[in-house]
Structure 1
Amino acid sequence: MYAMAAMKQYQSVNVQAQVSDATPHRLIQMLMEGGLTRLAQARGAMARGDIPLKGTLIGKALGIIGGLRQGLDLEAGGELATNLDRLYVYMTERLTEANVKNDPSILDEVSELLRKVKSGWDGIAQ
């Protein structure tokens, strides 16, 4: 039990260090990575029948997608920002449905959409 607590503390410190040194571009990448991780964890919880954990993890993924959406500059970002906003709204609706219906295929769909957005975002850095 102590080892698990120590590991969580280490991960928390590690993430805090990464965030403090990150560029705005990297922060968005980290959000997307976190969203994908929470979706994968929610899928695992769903498969195990751990409904409370599934709900918590989908809630965290929803929060991350909400954060990505809030970071959009709809005035300066033009059509791209508007389309991303619509996609994030769609993801939010689908995740809510996945939670209610306990449907892992919806989690897979949203994960794939987020991976595609992340792939494009990662390409900007190169």
Structure 2
Amino acid sequence: MLKQFNKAYENDALKAAVYGASPIGIVVMLYEGAIKAIMTASIAIEAQRFDEKARMISKAMDIVEGLRIALDVEAGSEAAVNLNELYLYMKNRLGQASLKNDQVILAEVRGLLETILPAWQQVDRSQPAASAVAGA
């Protein structure tokens, strides 16, 4: 699972944090990374730095795809199936935003991520013992 996410991160300190995190902690970091990439892409559109916009949207799409791939849809969980569909929708919208240089679409996807992120943060905070065991 971690190999799928490395592509999204270029910074060695961040890689170290990812390898030291719980699985839920990794999800939180990925959401935060996607949100940051989308914000940076929006700023790049405003500044007409389209190469930077493309790179940041691509990074956000890679993160969302990593989150999607990590889902256990085959287990039949309704939450996993719903998240899979949502991640596919987000990737589609990010592609549209890139083609159209559309900050409104970027804001929409960022809003979706920001809506779900607190739930993951809460799960991460409520499972410190489980995280420590999982990391051992």
1:44-102 CA deviation, whole Å, 9 max, x = no partner?
10110111110111001000000000010012251110000010011011111101111
What TM-score results when the alignment is normalised by the length of structure 2? Answer: 0.81
Inter-partner Cα distance in structure 2 for 1:77 and 1:26 = 23
Identity of aligned residues (%): 38
Unaligned runs of 5+ in 2: 1-9, 127-136
Inter-partner Cα distance in structure 2 for 1:31 and 1:50 = 24
1:18-97 correspondence to structure 2 within 5 Å? 18-76=17-75, 78-97=77-96
Please tell me the residue identity of whatever aligns with 1:35.
A
Please tell me the residue identity of whatever aligns with 1:70.
I
Structure 1 equivalent of residue 114 of structure 2: 115
Inter-partner Cα distance in structure 1 for 2:23 and 2:115 = 19
Structure 1 equivalent of residue 4 of structure 2: none
Inter-partner Cα distance in structure 2 for 1:81 and 1:31 = 17
Cα deviation, residue 17, structure 1:
2.2
Matched residues, number:
116
1:8-45 CA deviation, whole Å, 9 max, x = no partner?
xxx92321221221111111111111101100100010
Inter-partner Cα distance in structure 1 for 2:47 and 2:76 = 41
Q: CA RMSD in A?
A: 1.3
Larger RCO (alpha carbons 8 Å, 6+ apart): 2
Following superposition, which runs of at least 4 residues in structure 1 exceed 3 angstroms of deviation?
none
Unaligned runs of 5+ in 1: 1-10
